[in-house]
Structure 1
Amino acid sequence: MPNKTKKIRYIFFIYWFLLAYIIAALIWWFISLNRQNEQMTNFEIQQLNTSQPQYTQQVNNIQQIQKRKTAQYIGEGVTFFLLIAAGAAFVFRAVQRQLQFSMEQQNFMMALTHELKTPIAVTKLNLETLQKRKLEESQQQRLIQTTLQEANRMNSLCNNMLLSSQIEASGFRISNEEINFSDLVATCVQDFITRYPQRNITTAIAKEIFADGDQLLLQMAVNNLVENAIKYAPKETTIAVSVTEEKNNITLQVKDEGKGIADEEKKKVFNKFYRIGNAATKGAKGTGLGLYLTRRILHQHNGNISVTDNFPTGSIFTVNLQSSVQKN
């Protein structure tokens, strides 16, 4: 990483040096042309016969030509300068975005390696323990439960990666069917309650709320929000999930009591590969795909997602969807 940083600094140094050289050359040519214009004007005036009646008029004409050429040089110089500045800004921003994206991809690969390595190692260890040792039934069930949790984590990660690739390639077609959104959210939350019995997850889900959309994608979006709250909230705190409906508008909220998200980070958390880099979240697992996919899924369902502060501490992720008319 230090060598790569040095290379980037070297590249930017060359970039700014060449830009400064081009601008300096442009200024030098303007000064040189303007000085040449003045010399030609003085030379032409000296060649005039002062005794001629049209001398004053001829001098004025020569000076007018000088002013027009000076204005021409200024106009061309300003035009070239603006073109150079616009091109330099475009190149700088493009390179900066590419470098940032490259860093995000590198961080993603590091996080992905860790995310895959951990459940594989835990699963292998648990299976070897079951194979080599005779354990009591309760111990066996605990190891099996842990193995299933890690397998679910790996399955969720693979689904997120696959869906992200398909969405980027425009190769995923969503289905549109009427879904009992209340039951979908309740099922997702119950799964997390089963997987994390030590966590305090509460629900306030209104009954018989229906929405049109892809059940698999909406289920993935809800899972990503609840899993995100579990990752970033302390174990002793409460995670609250609620679903309400008002005037054909469905509102899903997932509240946690974690460290919260700074105002300048609130929009960035929905970017691909983005993870909050403060000391409070560095230890949290994740790849930076969950919230990005959630936003993309909701946009495909004509919905939206936002994040606000949960007082006194934590975050509230709010999802808005259009409800469908229940068929009798």
Structure 2
Amino acid sequence: MSFLTNILKFVVVLSVQLVGLAASKSDVSSSTAQVYWKSLFPHTPLPGVLANQLIYPSDLSGDYFRAILKDMVTKFRTIEVDEKFKYDSPKVESDSANKLDYDNVHKDVFFFETKLHEGANMDAMELTIGENNVAFLPRSIADTIPFSSQNFSQILTYFSVSPESPVASVIKETIELCEIPALKGELKRCSTSFEDFLDYAISLLGKHVQIFTPSLETKSSHPNLTVGHVTQLVGKSVVMCHKLNYAYAVYLCHSLKRTHLYEVYLIGKDGSRGTSLAACHQDTSSWSAKHLAFHVLKVQPGTVPICHFLKKGTIVWVPSP
């Protein structure tokens, strides 16, 4: 059975199940998701970055899931390219990313904090990679879908995916990434629903928070970027949520102490303008010595703060001043 046939079967199965659940679960609608947001943040409008990822009742149809299908197929066909820029997690090691051609890793995939100043030139090619546009599932649906390595075979059956297909590899990789134990001083969780995503951030930071996300829209695949103004976002702890490759929105959220977060305005010679977010990890002593950052920067763990930009689609929670 072909890869595309397996995906089509997955779309049909999941569409039928979601539509059936929509008829019996009142919290499927985006309006209920907005109500849930309002119950937590009564004086704060739902940010567009979240509102754009909600499933609307009219979207619970074949058209919506055909759009998911198109996105999935595109992502899986380009997964080897995406792997080159999968550096948002401090657990990425050079031996676990041995498919990389180190000679072609651009110089600013990791950088020192001293480079974040006005006028600096940045080779930040990872900022040009498109984000995964699939939407959040409501908790009432997400909780019915298994999400663990122990249930991997069941997940493949549920999605009608062949174990040898590229989809199976991505599903396995995403779940395993979520199951990697947290580093010392780190708290982490993979949220598979809108409600769980909100609940976890609140459990770590409380309700007095702000949300930031990169807004830079590049006009070429490799723009020459210059740093404009740089603003440090103050907070004893920040929660960074990275959107993973999956059939629906799954975010790996983790809180790392001693991490400086900066909002960086970037200007490109191609006309690109907008903000990105840079995370600078002050303590890398618990990172593996095989981490790609140490290979790129030629330093040892725990010796100097290491920074990287956050990819498009990343959502960062910061305590309000």
TM bucket (normalised to shorter chain) is under 0.3
Q: What is the TM-score with the length of structure 1 in the denominator?
A: 0.24
Structure with the higher strand share, 1 or 2: 2
Which one has a bigger Cα radius of gyration?
A: 1
TM-score, length of structure 2 as denominator length: 0.24
Greater relative contact order, per chain length (Cα 8 Å cut-off, separation 6+) = 2
* Structure (1/2) with the larger helix percentage: 1
